Structure 1
Amino acid sequence: MSALISIEQNKKYEKGDSFYSSKYAIILLSNSKFYVDSIQYDAKEQTVLFLSPYQKLVWNDDTIVSELLFHGDFYCIEYHKEEVACNGLLFNNIFLKPYVEIPKEEYLEIKSIFNKIEAKTRDISPFADMINRTYIQLVLALCSREKSNELEKIQKLSPLDFQMRRLQELIDRYFSRERSPSFYADKLAISLHSLSRKSKKSFGKTPTELIRERVILEAKKMLHLTSKSVKEIAAVLYFDDEYYFSRYFKKCVGCSPSQYRKEVGISIVVSE
């Protein structure tokens, strides 16, 4: 079995247990409460949860799940973005919930694929890893379709108001230079209290949390998808120096930028 992929089914967690990995994670669960990077979620029915490397998951109730973990060197979501547009949809989007609730039939289909992956991890043939990459891509394709359908329904039933759409645009444009919520409140011509209330209602996060997550997301991208040094990344993100950036990153992620790059690696797309 490759050390770059692992699967564990019917894994039991108790309330307060945590999960933290240098690999990508696809987790099957049902009717569970949990925190991802300190943000609380309450998933109903059959759900598939997606975690990028070093996102911290804490369970808020007792639960039983199935976990599929894979390293970016085993299956690179950026390399396969043309086939499966999951990066920014299932993974790495601070404005979306990190999971998708799916119909029972789809859930059972993915569960069946998990069973096949588990069998292949015990297969020593030279084609086993290739087959498991195909299975991972199938799971991501199925979930990307369901997530896209979910977002389309949400947009029709309760679309974001103009100010929150504008907030998304502003954070994506200014996050590296402007990390104060008051800057965005001024841009939107609303009070800080109103901004916080609307942000929490629309995204489940405060403006401060959104800005911080956007900075960290960009830092992770550059650590994984470029060969820039930590010092260069700190400069791009307008930190005073690499030491302040490293402290900021470690406080948010739980490891230093150097450790993150060592464990997650630099993507194969960088050398292309």
Structure 2
Amino acid sequence: MNKVFSDTGNLLLGLDQPENNTLGTPAQFAEYTIIIVTAGEGVFHADFASFAFSGPVILFSTPQQTISIKENTALKYAILQFHSDFYCIEYHRDEVACNGLLFNTIYIEPSLQLSSDELVSYQMIMSQITEEFKQPVPSDIVLRAYLQLFLAKSSSIKIKSIEKQKVYRDEKMDVFRQLLEENFLTLRKPGDYAALLAMTSNSFTKQCTRRFNKTPSQMIQERLILEAKKQLHLTRLSIKEIAFALKFQDEYYFSRLFKKMTKISPQAFRNTTGISIVADLSI
């Protein structure tokens, strides 16, 4: 079994190679989930966003995202999962630089297209992980090292691909991204941002969708929920305190919206993902 569990029975690290498309139906996991597609084409759905892909490619998702894969041609993939209790990407951000690049971002497509040579190198890492699992007592230190190598390599390739990619550029949408980061707590209507950008609502929606493959409403909601997830995972603030920090009128309204968007309550999200060790680090 290519899995490591905690003393309480929670999955800490796992590597699976399903024979069929086990993600054909929507699923949520408490772990960071990485899907290494070696062959085939399909559509990856993560919460309310979706995009087409073709192998070889790596797909990334964060804890408790609702994910699924629509298979267009026969898929072959492996699933690598790790819990933040096993490897904290926030704590190791300097080594892997993946937080906000591969995970926890609403602006960049959570995928990594691979060359044939890059795929071979990833398959070697997965083989090494599998070999370590076969040991009588798999070493957590060795497994963390392989996982860190996997994430660091992914971050490096992603950065290079972004630099080379001919992405549709739109100065207005660059400004919108900045405005959203600065005002998502207080400005929660697309019209607010359209006014700041001196754009009509229709033009704003079209340009936003073309740039980010999401509507302005989706962007605003996802940014707010992303912040809520960060607060739940990276701090020891109570649900009430988080609701107050995010400018909600009360914790009950916050909980209802969070569950509507994520299909899980704030407390259940915290219980399954845990509180990061960075919550207790001195600033």
Q: Given the superposition, is the C-alpha separation of residues 177 and 11 from structure 1 closer, same or farther in structure 2, using an over 3 Å criterion? A: farther
**Of residues 81, 89, 94 in structure 1, which corresponds to 2:106?**
94
Per the TM alignment, residue 10 of structure 1 is displaced from its structure 2 partner at its CA by: 3.8
Q: How does 1:129-148 map to 2 (within 5 A)?
A: 129-148=140-159
Q: Please list the CA deviations of residues 1-55 of structure 1 after superposition, one character each: whole Å capped at 9, or x if unmatched.
A: 5211111014421684223101001110142222111212111231111111011
In 1, Cα distance between equivalents of 2:161 and 2:18: 27
In 2, Cα distance between equivalents of 1:89 and 1:19: 23
Question: Aligned AA for 1:131?
Answer: V
Question: Aligned AA for 1:135?
Answer: Y
**Of residues 258, 262, 268 in structure 1, which corresponds to 2:271?**
262
Q: Given the superposition, is the C-alpha separation of residues 93 and 117 from structure 1 closer, same or farther in structure 2, using an over 3 Å criterion? A: same
Cα contact 2:23–2:67 (8 A) shared by 1: no
Please name the residue that 1:162 is paired with: 171
**Of residues 81, 89, 92 in structure 2, which corresponds to 1:69?**
81
In 1, Cα distance between equivalents of 2:42 and 2:255: 34
Q: Given the superposition, is the C-alpha separation of residues 93 and 9 from structure 1 closer, same or farther in structure 2, using an over 3 Å criterion? A: same
Per the TM alignment, residue 75 of structure 1 is displaced from its structure 2 partner at its CA by: 0.5
Count of equivalent residues: 269
Q: Report runs of 4+ in structure 1 exceeding 4 Å deviation.
A: none
Question: Aligned AA for 1:18?
Answer: P
In 1, Cα distance between equivalents of 2:65 and 2:114: 22
Bigger CA drift: 56-65 or 210-219? 56-65
**Of residues 97, 122, 125 in structure 2, which corresponds to 1:113?**
125
Q: How does 1:74-223 map to 2 (within 5 A)?
A: 74-125=86-137, 128-154=139-165, 157-158=166-167, 160-223=169-232
Cα contact 1:23–1:52 (8 A) shared by 2: yes
Q: Secondary structure at the match of 1:83?
A: helix
Q: Given the superposition, is the C-alpha separation of residues 15 and 254 from structure 1 closer, same or farther in structure 2, using an over 3 Å criterion? A: closer
Per the TM alignment, residue 158 of structure 1 is displaced from its structure 2 partner at its CA by: 3.7
Per the TM alignment, residue 229 of structure 1 is displaced from its structure 2 partner at its CA by: 0.5
Q: Secondary structure at the match of 1:17?
A: coil
**Of residues 31, 39, 44 in structure 2, which corresponds to 1:34?**
44
In 1, Cα distance between equivalents of 2:279 and 2:19: 36
Q: Secondary structure at the match of 1:249?
A: helix
Q: Please list the CA deviations of residues 221-244 of structure 1 after superposition, one character each: whole Å capped at 9, or x if unmatched.
A: 000101111001101111110011
In 1, Cα distance between equivalents of 2:212 and 2:171: 14
In 1, Cα distance between equivalents of 2:113 and 2:27: 20
Q: Secondary structure at the match of 1:234?
A: helix
Please name the residue that 2:9 is paired with: none
TM-score by length of 1: 0.94
Aligned CA-pair RMSD = 1.5
Bigger CA drift: 59-68 or 233-242? 59-68
In 1, Cα distance between equivalents of 2:123 and 2:238: 41
| Runs of at least 5 residues in structure 1 that lack an aligned partner in the other structure | none
Q: Secondary structure at the match of 1:60?
A: strand
Bigger CA drift: 26-35 or 70-79? 26-35
Q: Given the superposition, is the C-alpha separation of residues 161 and 76 from structure 1 closer, same or farther in structure 2, using an over 3 Å criterion? A: same
Question: Aligned AA for 2:169?
Answer: L
Please name the residue that 1:43 is paired with: 53
% identity of equivalent residues:
38
TM-score by length of 2: 0.91
In 2, Cα distance between equivalents of 1:103 and 1:233: 43
| Runs of at least 5 residues in structure 2 that lack an aligned partner in the other structure | 6-11
In 1, Cα distance between equivalents of 2:178 and 2:261: 23
